[in-house]
A and B are shown apart, each in its own frame.
Chain A
């Protein structure tokens, strides 16, 4: 693994660790308090804090996961390095686009 990928993976992990814990805590709180989808959306829509929180989550995941997948493919498959890199970049874009689409859906006020 190249040094810049190593550093990117470590820094994204540093960001993901608290974000994942906060995300799990939020799920538990929301379920235990019996919040409905409307109640959750009423709190997240228009909120810059939630947009930054989940936007950061998605960006960190889109950096972290493809680097790991690249390593796994490199070690466990006979695929050529260029194919592996192309797959990792495509995977990063999929995570980024799907993730940001979801963040926009729950934080941006529509209509």
Chain B
């Protein structure tokens, strides 16, 4: 028996959340395979066991940010989370391999593994996350020095895929429904460091208003769980510094 066949002979015990808030976990058996992601497991359950299972995904390669769920109690991007990495960390050698998949925390549930992300994106707007240009299409493109401190700060935070993993990991969001959350504040940090943004002061005011960056407890769950290894905690620390010293120098 080759290695792949041996791996396939092991069944993974999968528990998946079914229903809305008053739902519960249901168990399924799925064969373990090489290079199997958590999203692969959910797809297999839907195709072979539970055609009515609702879940959300699009790109399957860690770009779109659609497939975030709670895997063994932690928010993760399921398309890039390997089953072996998760199962190996949470089960002893003696126990049968098992995995529990639930919807994201801190967001209203719709059905099974699908959450309503409206509050998450509404907070991006409330945080002043919209870019407003200073030039028209007839103006020449502005030269941006990539080595400028502010530009480097913006670059370090800009690759957010809007997956809401940090929002789900954040305890302050769980305690205070008014809190904007790490992703929205990370976005405002990139904008106040972007010299092409016309409304830097307004954006900073929004980030400093009640429920903004000053509510953060600096626990760092956002940075720890960010699948693309950004540091929203560092961005929020930058916004807190701006509460004392004003806008960063972008020129």
Q: Mark A1-25, 1 if CB is under 8 A from B, else 0.
A: 1110111001000000000000000
Q: Mark B189-205, 1 if CB is under 8 A from A, else 0.
A: 00000000000000000
Q: Do residues B208 and A75 form an inter-chain contact, with CB atoms below 8 A?
A: no
Cβ of B215 within 8 Å of any chain A Cβ, yes or no, is yes
- How many of chain B's residues touch chain A, expressed as a range? 10 to 19
Which of the listed residues B208, B214, B240 has the most CB atoms from chain A within 10 Å of its own CB? B214
Q: Do residues B244 and A7 form an inter-chain contact, with CB atoms below 8 A?
A: yes
Cβ of B209 within 8 Å of any chain A Cβ, yes or no, is yes
- Tell me the bound Cα distance from A10 to B244 in angstroms: 10
Cβ of B210 within 8 Å of any chain A Cβ, yes or no, is yes
Which residues, 29 to 82 on A, are CB-close (under 8 Å) to B?
Answer: 71, 74-76
- How many of chain A's residues touch chain B, expressed as a range? 10 to 19
Q: Mark B177-221, 1 if CB is under 8 A from A, else 0.
A: 000000000000000000000000000000011100011000000
Q: Do residues A75 and B175 form an inter-chain contact, with CB atoms below 8 A?
A: yes
Q: Do residues B215 and A7 form an inter-chain contact, with CB atoms below 8 A?
A: no
Q: Which residues of A contact B208 (CB under 8 A)?
A: 3, 6
- Tell me the bound Cα distance from A19 to B67 in angstroms: 51
Q: Mark B69-112, 1 if CB is under 8 A from A, else 0.
A: 00000000000000000000000000000000000000000000
Cβ of B247 within 8 Å of any chain A Cβ, yes or no, is no
- Tell me the bound Cα distance from A4 to B215 in angstroms: 13
Q: Do residues A75 and B214 form an inter-chain contact, with CB atoms below 8 A?
A: no
Contact of A3 among B172, B175, B243 (CB under 8 A): B243
Q: Do residues B244 and A1 form an inter-chain contact, with CB atoms below 8 A?
A: no
Q: Which of chain A's residues has its CB closest to B215's CB?
A: A1
- Tell me the bound Cα distance from A10 to B218 in angstroms: 14
Q: Do residues B210 and A1 form an inter-chain contact, with CB atoms below 8 A?
A: yes
Contact of A2 among B172, B175, B214, B240 (CB under 8 A): B214
Contact of A76 among B175, B209, B214, B244 (CB under 8 A): B175
Residues of A within 8 A of B (CB): 1-3, 5-7, 10, 71, 74-76
A sample of 18 cross-chain residue pairs with beta-carbon separation below 8 angstroms, ordered by A number, consists of A1-B210, A1-B214, A1-B215, A2-B210, A3-B208, A3-B209, A3-B214, A3-B243, A5-B214, A6-B214, A6-B240, A6-B243, A7-B243, A7-B244, A71-B215, A75-B172, A75-B176, A76-B175
In the A-B complex, list the 10 residue pairs whose CB atoms are closest, starting with the nearest. A75-B175, A6-B214, A1-B214, A3-B208, A75-B176, A2-B210, A1-B215, A3-B243, A6-B243, A74-B176
Known contacts A2-B210, A3-B208, A75-B176; 8 further A-B pairs (Cβ under 8 A): A1-B210, A1-B214, A1-B215, A3-B214, A6-B240, A7-B243, A75-B172, A75-B175
Residues of B within 8 A of A (CB): 172, 175-176, 208-210, 214-215, 240, 243-244
